[in-house]
A = this chain, B = another copy of it.
Amino acid sequence: MDTRTGLPVVGMVGAGQLARMTHQAAISLGQSLRVLAATPDDGAALVAADVRLGDHTDLDALRTFAKGCDVVTFDHEHVPGEHIRALAAEGVTVYPSADALYYTQNKRAMRERLGEMGIPIPRWRPVTSRADIDGDVVVKAVSGGYDGRGVWFDPTDVDTGRELIVEERIPIRRELAALVARSPFGQVAAYPVVETVQQGGICVEVLAPAPGLPEDVAVEAQQLAIRLATELGVVGLLAVELFDTPDGLRVNELAMRPHNSGHWTIEGARTSQFEQHLRAVLDYPMGDTGLTAPAVAMANVLGGQPGGPSIDERLHHLFAHDPGVKVHLYGKQVRPGRKIGHVTALGEDMDQVRSRAVHAARMLREGPG
């Protein structure tokens, strides 16, 4: 507890944009998020009052960080499970637990578990050498993947020094995501199911609610996420990435933290995913997940080629062009392809808000030209 305010201290390991936006939400709840940053220039470290520098793979750094926190949580999946278990054994409250988080850290274990649970996933098998890779498959590293890294569509690119699986390539209509939050008490709240639009393995747009999704499929996706959160013992957010296929839904990947597919909730849902994650790990009752507008579109802002107007000038142009679009910049240096922010548009008509969001993201990436 923060003795100055009488309110809890949440520590988040990792200080990227997810921690940055969680800090914004924490402020409303009377808190100040403590972040463990790798460098003072990390997105959240630039804006938070309570920044500790340290390596998230160093148990002593984690121990020091956890001291005085009511709960420790994560903005990524890269903290070794044995460190999380050590902290928990020493009395630190850590959510999600090492046992739950394991299913985001090990793609093989996740698939084995989901298979046992009878949850539909693409067919897969472990491979040990390049010779094992054949057929129309995608190759995935069992651990360490992120934003398209650790996933190969061409077997000749594969890094065979890592533990790998192959997964059948299935015909997909589109990708969806189901986001839920679960508290230690066991309350689960589900957000409307969204469509995620990917380019080169990176999410570029999110449409909420997923346009034209039949109600029964939306409910199926939410129930699937609720069941996973409950049976895997997740506390905090669980994002379930799904393939919408002619044969039904298939689970692609899991994340247990605020997720890119939920950034639209900042303005588009009554409770943002960042506030919801805090409420969940603090065992507060969950917030209303309802939409604030009939159609919400989020587009990621990826860094463009060097040159042209500054990001500040681009912002001027964008605000002159669309006074209603909401901008979130992460405080990052612009590098080609790097996620440096996102934009959200809200309204009555999905085509319209989508085109506004995409145009806004392009103006921030390329300038007004």
Contact = CB atoms under 8 A, between A and B. Distances in A.
A275 B351 CA distance: 27
B28 A326 contact: yes
A4 B41 contact: yes
Contacts of A316: 284-285
Interface stretch (A56-64, A135-143, A286-294): A286-294
Interface stretch (A83-91, A111-119, A162-170, A327-335): A327-335
A290 B324 contact: yes
Interface in A1-24: 1, 4-8, 20-21, 23-24
Interface stretch (A43-51, A121-129, A252-260): A43-51
A347 B23 CA distance: 27
Scoring A5, A319, A334 by chain B CB atoms within 10 A of each residue's CB, the highest score goes to A5
Interface stretch (A71-79, A231-239, A307-315): A307-315
A354 interface: no
Contacts of A327: 28-30
A32 interface: yes
A187 to B, nearest CB: 9
A334 B4 CA distance: 10
A365 to B, nearest CB: 14
Interface residues of A, number: 55
A6 B315 CA distance: 11
Interface string A329-369: 11111100000010000100000000000000000000000
A284 B30 contact: no
A46 B9 CA distance: 12
Given A46-B49, A47-B48, A320-B285, A29 B311 contact: no
A222 interface: no
Contacts of A328: 28
A270 interface: yes
Given A30-B331, A327-B28, A310 B6 contact: yes
A29 B5 CA distance: 27
15 contacts: A1-B312, A4-B41, A6-B311, A6-B334, A7-B311, A28-B329, A29-B315, A29-B329, A30-B311, A30-B327, A30-B341, A46-B49, A47-B48, A271-B324, A285-B319
7 tightest A-B contacts by CB? Answer: A30-B329, A288-B324, A285-B319, A285-B320, A288-B323, A32-B47, A5-B331
